[in-house]
Structure 1
Amino acid sequence: MKPPRSTTMRLVALLALLLPAGCSSERAQGIRGAEPYRLSGAACLAVLRERGIAVGRWQHIPDRSCRVDTPVRAGSGRLASFVPPLETSCAMLVAWSDFEAEVNRAARTHLRSPVVAVQHYGSYACRSMTGNAGRASLHARARALDISGFRLADGRIVTVHEGWRGTRAEQRFLRAVASAACRRFSVTLTPESDRRHQDHLHVDIGPWRQCGL
């Protein structure tokens, strides 16, 4: 005897909820979770000091409702400098410093040279999320970073705009960075995500989960 159709549909829905969500499903629809890196104030600054990351005061003046928790200005992370110097939240800088070794590993593996500088389009921007005016961007709290390229110790510069579809080594490097970022950060957006991200990688530490690969 077959179970009622309504019972079958409920079982299918339950199984769908129990199945682990992979990066491909997260790409289609962001999944909400706990917001990581809830570091703030003196405790957050102490983490940076322990890692040897020197920061200055960023004279952040909040625009409307866009307030940054523990704003900092840094010329470099643990392994590479920022071009230009990075103005961000302390929590975002801690998150990036956790990720730097993976970027360097990918550079050494695919390009045979370590990264010495990270080029970026900034962290803070008081605005709504791109494509969704009803939700504030993580940039509005400086809990996001847009990476445009990397300078290597041998003098080469690999940009997202040119390298994503550039030489085989550049493609492998940038995709390795993006793949590692999907594991480390809440949201990672790439040139595969949409037309707005053709020249940079977006990473953030918000409550939503999405992998743009």
Structure 2
Amino acid sequence: MVTSSPEPFRIAVLGTHATGKTTLLKRIEMELRGHGLTVARTGRLGKRAAAAGLPKMQHHTARSTEWIIAQGILDETHAAAQGPEVVLIDRAAHDAIAYYDAAMAFRAQTPPRLERERLLILASTQLPKYDLLLATVLDESVPVDTSHDYDAAFRRLVDNCVHRLLAGEVITHQRVTSDPDSQAHAVDVAIRRCLTEQPA
């Protein structure tokens, strides 16, 4: 008889680029492992989409958005199947929607209504799986890696789209700013919830 293992606690993050998402998840992972919990992580969706020949950043399209959401779902399912107690998701599904909205606005285009609704429904299927959703907030005073060619206006657009989307869809989340206290609080909340809400 095959028995299914308990579902892992899932923490997802979203936000515009270079706002500390990956670093935040690394801090959470280190703390969780220090408490003896097993952890799996997903990520690198943007780079993998580009490697697959899909446009990214301000060139993002409905097709690349769908690929990122679908691949993210697959990655998360695969990570959970390994039996960890916690899965850390670098870029929640709605992140791709925010990037799509920002890219369309950047190009002064209007996304086809039915196409955007379809993508939003696809992203929304993941929301019930997230036990904790963290949303980073852009702070333009924090220097970015100059080896990346970031368009400042597009970066702002993505940040606006992320937080407008979360508010408009009334999605429960925790904002995480660049302030060290905000970062430490997010890590603390993640650890406490993982430790107290583990299945028996």
**TM-score, normalization: structure 2?**
0.26
Q: Which structure has more helix as a fraction of its residues?
A: 2
Q: Which structure has more strand as a fraction of its residues?
A: 1
Q: Which has the higher contact order (CA 8 A, sep 6+)?
A: 2
**TM-score, normalization: structure 1?**
0.25
Rg comparison, structure with higher value = 1
